[in-house]
Chain A
Amino acid sequence: MPGVTLEARELSKWFGSRTAVDSVSFTAYEGEVIGLLGPNGAGKTTTIRMLSTVLPPTGGDFTVAGVPSSQPAGIRARIGVLPESAGYPMFQTGLEYLTYHGRLFGLSRDEARQTAVRLLGQVGLADRAQSRIATYSRGMRQRLGIARALVNNPSVVFLDEPTLGLDPAGQREILTLVRMIAEARGTTVVLSTHTLPEVEQVCSSVLILNEGKVVVSGSVAEVTSTEAASRQSGRLRVPPEEVPRAAEVLRRLPGVSVEVSKDVLTVTSADGMNSMLSAVLDAGIVLLSFEVDGARLSDAFLAMTRGGTS
């Protein structure tokens, strides 16, 4: 059993009368990559900010890398954070920036510089080390931010939407980096994101938040095998005059629910889309288009965060 690196107990945060995070509890282990999921405003950033001690919680406590929340400076020394939409000092070079932050974590001038050079190599910025950050692309800045989060060799790393605004290649680079961090360093990574395939690729477990509450948590396999997630849904389009007949054909199938809006039929079934498609085609109805909600995790995600399993 790997050691516990992160434990949150009943963590809450109110902004005035609005609840941003409501009694969130979870545990994370060494080398684990936790995906923090949830729609906009679910409280992901707020949770990360509380755990990284830049925002005091309204209630609850937590332990990070064995340090209790009552010692924020001790926690900060052991974590690395890529904040949501972080800014960078545009006139510093990547090397200056990382060296400066290394020094803020107590490294000597030489150590900080060596660490900076090594990290810039690891995130693929070695050739741009002496360029001003202003000249970096968005993806390069994100990688610089990740390098910054690693200057203190942290035991827990928080990445708040690290792939935001990146192209697929950029996203892949970041995810490779995340996997490397977790595997090579045995670091716990908490990854907040909206991109679900990303979670399936790199995360060992997920925590889905909605309106500040934990809706579901567990390994990716556990979460996707919940009942809601195993149901598959899709949308069929048929000629408008055929809509009533198609709905009737589909409703005859076992375990299928159908919702009709105009000429689109939204269907959900426990055993995949194939039987439904063949039933419609067998009835001689022209199928104009159909699409299936692909990833199974996203089903779980949507089902849980829309407040119900239909």
Chain B
Amino acid sequence: MRLLLAVLVLVLFPATASATVEVTMSESRIAGAVGQYLNISSTVTNTGSSPTGKLIAHLNVASSNGVYVDLEDWTAAPTQSLPALGPGESTEVSWDVQAVNAGVFNVYAVVLPDGSASLSVSPPIHLEVAGRRTLSAGGALPIALIVPLLLGIVVYAVRRRLRTTT
């Protein structure tokens, strides 16, 4: 719901009004693999001269090549509330995002102010998600066999030593 609202508001009121809140992202491009978690953090700064009310920060993921994005799968808590910021103050906010699909995406944050002031949007992060890296069970199997085997030999040797010294 909130997502729709955010998009709606964004569409209806393009960035015209003088934004008093600035949102920046910590990175501009990230590469990962399907299934990987990414921690995306951004800084929200009040650049205006008057204090803000309570703020709401919302993360959004948009596909650049038509891959369907269900935001709920990507992050459990896309919307986070932020404390009110005095003039010049800033705060950090971060999201844990899991890359659910392969493809190229834009990830950006929107800060919705309390009341009638306008939205602030961060520059997007360019996210490239590679296909699933399958784990080679073949690599794990030898270790899974060798380690207990070696320790078994140690146990046997210790037991033997105990039995032979009477």
Q: In the complex, how many angstroms separate the beta carbon of B66 from the nearest chain A beta carbon?
A: 71
Q: Which residues of A contact B65 (CB under 8 A)?
A: none
If A131-B165, A132-B162, A132-B165 are given as contacts, then 6 extra A-B residue pairs at C-beta distance below 8 Å, sorted by A number, are: A91-B162, A93-B165, A130-B165, A131-B166, A132-B166, A135-B166
Interface of B (DSSP majority class) = loop
Q: Which residues of A contact B165 (CB under 8 A)?
A: 93, 130-132
B interface size (C-beta, 8 A): 3
Q: Which residues of B contact A91 (CB under 8 A)?
A: 162
**Interface of B toward A, CB cutoff 8 Å:** 162, 165-166
**CB-based nearest B residue for A131:** B166
Q: In the complex, how many angstroms separate the beta carbon of B120 from the nearest chain A beta carbon?
A: 72
Q: Which residues of B contact A93 (CB under 8 A)?
A: 165
Complex CA gap A93/B162 in Å reads 11
**CB-based nearest A residue for B162:** A91
Complex CA gap A131/B162 in Å reads 10
Q: From residue 45 to 91 of chain A, which have CB atoms closer than 8 A to chain B?
A: 91
Q: Which residues of B contact A132 (CB under 8 A)?
A: 162, 165-166
Q: Which residues of A contact B162 (CB under 8 A)?
A: 91, 132
- 1/0 contact trace for A124-143 toward B, CB 8 Å? 00000011100100000000
Complex CA gap A131/B166 in Å reads 5
Top 9 A-B pairs, shortest CB-CB distance: A135-B166, A131-B166, A132-B166, A132-B165, A91-B162, A130-B165, A93-B165, A131-B165, A132-B162
Complex CA gap A258/B5 in Å reads 113
9 interchain pairs, CB-CB under 8 A = A91-B162, A93-B165, A130-B165, A131-B165, A131-B166, A132-B162, A132-B165, A132-B166, A135-B166
Q: Which residues of A contact B166 (CB under 8 A)?
A: 131-132, 135
Complex CA gap A132/B162 in Å reads 9
Q: In the complex, how many angstroms separate the beta carbon of A182 from the nearest chain B beta carbon?
A: 34
Q: In the complex, how many angstroms separate the beta carbon of A294 from the nearest chain B beta carbon?
A: 43
Complex CA gap A91/B161 in Å reads 11
Complex CA gap A132/B165 in Å reads 7
Q: In the complex, how many angstroms separate the beta carbon of B161 from the nearest chain A beta carbon?
A: 11
